[in-house]
Amino acid sequence: MIKYLSPEVLLFAYQQGLFPMAESRSAKQVQWIQPKKRGIFQLGNFHISKSLRRIILKEDYSVMINSCFPKVVEKCADRNETWINDDIYNCYCKLHEDGFAHSVEVWKDSRLIGGVYGVAIGAAFFGESMFSDVSNGSKIALAYLHDRLLKVGFLLFDTQFLTEHLASLGAIEITQDQYLIKLEKALNKNATFADINYSVDVESIAQRSTQTS
């Protein structure tokens, strides 16, 4: 148990394959988690259903990065049960200020309707949490995040655990040993999340491994 988090400790932990979780919003301590099975997205293998493809191509929304990082974390924590306590919130906001933590936000009619945030070290992106205030809000955010990571040279997209929601989008589960091998390779390469050369191609995002549902 650790009572206080610092950005330096958190960055070191990620590089060892660990991540923090609190038992509740009011918890004063965090636990360091290293699951035996790890969820990841294989970059280039993100599944888009036909219904999600139609939603993405409709483009009645806008997507931004890092425009309201603290708000995204707040939204992710705004649920009955959350592992994001005050220490975790403050630490990730500091990591964002330091250029390590990033968010993808989905907007519609000036309203934040979905988002995801995580931490980038080298060519590894550690997805932390996501939220959706409308149907498919988080799926749109993940689709755009995956496209960015793929195109700017990331090698690892860590989702921590595999859920039904993530599996429906193509995420898989690997062993901790397999994960650590991928992690080491990704940490030895550099990639820039906010690469100025990245450009959005909505058509290519919507085409990723389209499924029939």
User: Residue 115 sits in a domain of what CATH number?
Assistant: 3.40.630.70
> Model's pTM, two decimal places?
0.94
Residue 58 belongs to domain spanning: 36-81+102-207
Q: Tell me, what's the pLDDT at 4?
A: 61
Q: How confident is the model at residue 208 (pLDDT cuts 50, 70, 90)?
A: low
Average pLDDT on 53-70 reads 97
Asked whether residue 88 is assigned to any structural domain, the reply reads: no
Asked whether residue 14 is assigned to any structural domain, the reply reads: no
Structural domain total, the chain: 1
Per-residue exposure over 29-55, b if at least 16 CB sit within 10 Å of its own CB, e if not? ebeeeebeebbbbebeebbbbeebbeb
CB 100 within 8 A of CB 121: yes
Asked whether residue 77 is assigned to any structural domain, the reply reads: yes
Q: Tell me, what's the pLDDT at 91?
A: 95
Residue 45 above 70 pLDDT?
yes
Q: Tell me, what's the pLDDT at 207?
A: 84
Give the integer Cα–Cα distance in Å for 6 and 160: 20
Average pLDDT on 32-46 reads 95
Q: Tell me, what's the pLDDT at 1?
A: 45
Asked whether residue 23 is assigned to any structural domain, the reply reads: no
What are 79-97's pLDDT values in tens digits? 888 999 999 999 999 999 9
Q: Tell me, what's the pLDDT at 209?
A: 57
Asked whether residue 21 is assigned to any structural domain, the reply reads: no
Percent of the chain whose pLDDT exceeds 70: 95
Lowest mean pLDDT among 21-30, 36-45, 50-59, 167-176: 21-30
Q: What is the mean pLDDT of the chain?
A: 93
Asked whether residue 92 is assigned to any structural domain, the reply reads: no
